[in-house]
């Protein structure tokens, strides 16, 4: 994850036996960025050890939208496959504070 000052924030999946209390790498990186003073996230990279490119899960999409808006999203895997898109392309009609 890269903020407007070009600082990089990393995250990893933090899993446990309950699954529901697991944290995905995207949210870990975002919360780390926020805790270190990042104001605007420009770019999010999701890299997975999978054959198919792996987009953020629904929970991550929601949290990323609320804190990052329509940021650039780069999906990649360990074989070098890559796709660049935006959050709005993978998360159409998001729910956010404008509906409250």
Average pLDDT by consecutive 10-residue portion of the chain (100 residues)?
Answer: 97 90 95 97 97 96 96 97 98 92
In a domain, 81, yes or no: yes
| Domain containing residue 37: CATH number | 3.40.140.10
Domain range enclosing 25? 2-94
pLDDT score, position 34:
98
Catalytic residue among 26, 36, 66, 83: 26
Task: Name the pTM for this structure.
Answer: 0.91
26 annotated active-site: yes
In a domain, 90, yes or no: yes
In a domain, 100, yes or no: no
In a domain, 10, yes or no: yes
State how many domains the chain has.
Answer: 1
Report whether 1 contacts 33 (CB < 8 A): yes
> Distance (Å, rounded) from C-alpha 54 to C-alpha 40?
23
Reduced to 3 states (helix: H, G, I; strand: E, B; else coil), residue 73 is strand
In a domain, 99, yes or no: no
In a domain, 9, yes or no: yes
């Amino acid at each position: 994850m890269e903020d407007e000052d070009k600082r990089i924030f990393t995250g990893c999946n933090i899993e446990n036996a309950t699954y529901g209390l697991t944290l995905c790498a995207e949210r870990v990186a975002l919360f780390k960025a926020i805790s270190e003073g990042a104001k605007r996230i420009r770019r999010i990279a999701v890299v997975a050890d999978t054959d198919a490119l792996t987009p953020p899960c629904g929970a991550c999409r929601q949290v990323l939208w609320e804190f990052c808006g329509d940021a650039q999203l780069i999906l990649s895997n360990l074989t070098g496959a890559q796709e660049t898109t935006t959050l709005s392309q993978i998360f159409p009609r998001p729910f956010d504070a404008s509906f409250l």
